């Protein structure tokens, strides 16, 4: 169903994720581990990238959560996507790129400069796959907001996060850390915090999921997946997903 990350790899989750996206060679792995060593820390709400300003070197999320966010002039806020360990930020092939969205830390965040990938190298393939996944998650977010109701949005988003965190070895048995408030979740789901709260309670009553103290637990991943008609995200025929 989904390629599970080896539990006892001793690798950083970020490296685990990229290794799951392409068969990395020793050189790539070594470069990644060196890069991860020199990660620096950001506090929650600090920005990695600011909409409209220049994009610098591509960065790799080592640990913690970040999000792409857009804020309207009247204060309405929409999270565009979440960025998890192993995700890349600011990867683009233009000469003088400008950020199309602000990226901000949701939790204490550890990021490093993403090691350069030689064209054709396994690392380049991993980056390309990561980029394709980013796009797929944006499309999923569009469908969620456009055509799913509140209950469905919650289930679908949590399944997506479970799938993504599993790639990095950060989720198992339907449970994972979800370090955000209901208000943040609401801004990702295009709902109000009040309604999000009510729908979360309903989902808990129905046994679909539970959220407490920063942790999400899905009752039955397979059943929920079926109920929502979800299919695992696949972007490459070389990768079994």
Out of 34, 98, 222, 223, point to the residue binding a copy of itself (CB under 8 A): 98
The reply on whether position 227 binds DNA by CB under 7 A is no
Nearer to DNA, 26 or 45 (CB): 45
Task: Say how far apart CA 137 and CA 233 lie, in whole Å.
Answer: 8
Nearest Cα residue to 202 out of 163, 155, 162? 155
8 A C-beta contact, residue 83 and residue 2? no
Residue 18's alpha-carbon distances to 5, 90, 109, 122, in angstroms, are: 10, 16, 18, 10
Which of 97, 207, 214, 240 lies at the binding interface for a copy of itself (CB under 8 A)? 97
CA distance to 60, 77, 89, 182, per residue, from 57 (Å): 10, 27, 9, 32
Residue range at the interface with DNA (CB under 7 A); choices 15-23, 155-163, 187-195, 225-233: 187-195
Q: Determine if 219 is a binding residue for DNA (CB under 7 A).
A: no
Of 2, 12, 225, 11, nearest in space to 133 by CA: 2
Q: Which residues bind DNA (CB under 7 A)?
A: 149-151, 181-183, 190-195, 197-201, 213
Q: Which residues bind a copy of itself (CB under 8 A)?
A: 52, 54, 68, 70, 72-74, 76-78, 80, 92-98, 100-101, 119, 124-125, 128-129, 131-132, 135-136, 138-139, 141-143, 145-147, 189-190, 229, 233-238
């Amino acid at each position: 169903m989904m390629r599970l990350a080896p539990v006892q790899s001793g690798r950083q989750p970020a490296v685990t994720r990229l290794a799951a996206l392409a068969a990395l060679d020793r050189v790539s792995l070594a470069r990644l581990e060196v890069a991860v060593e020199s990660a620096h820390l950001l506090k929650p709400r600090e920005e990695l990238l600011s909409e409209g300003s220049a994009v610098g070197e591509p960065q790799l999320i080592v640990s913690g959560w970040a999000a792409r966010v857009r804020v309207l002039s009247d204060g309405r806020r929409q999270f565009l996507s979440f960025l998890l360990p192993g995700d890349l930020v600011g990867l683009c092939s233009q000469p003088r790129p400008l950020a199309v969205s602000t990226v901000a830390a949701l939790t204490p965040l550890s990021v490093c400069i993403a090691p350069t990938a030689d064209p054709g190298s396994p690392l380049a393939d991993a980056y390309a796959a990561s980029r394709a996944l980013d796009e797929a998650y944006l499309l999923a977010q569009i469908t969620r907001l456009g055509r799913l109701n509140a209950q469905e949005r919650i289930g679908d988003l949590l399944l997506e996060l479970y799938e993504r965190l599993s790639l990095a070895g950060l989720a198992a048995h339907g449970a994972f850390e979800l370090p955000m408030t209901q208000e943040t979740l609401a801004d990702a789901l295009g709902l109000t915090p009040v309604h999000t709260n009510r729908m979360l309670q309903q989902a808990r009553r129905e046994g679909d999921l539970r959220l407490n103290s920063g942790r999400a637990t899905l009752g039955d991943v397979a059943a929920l997946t079926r109920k929502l008609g979800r299919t695992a995200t696949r972007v490459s025929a070389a990768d079994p997903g």
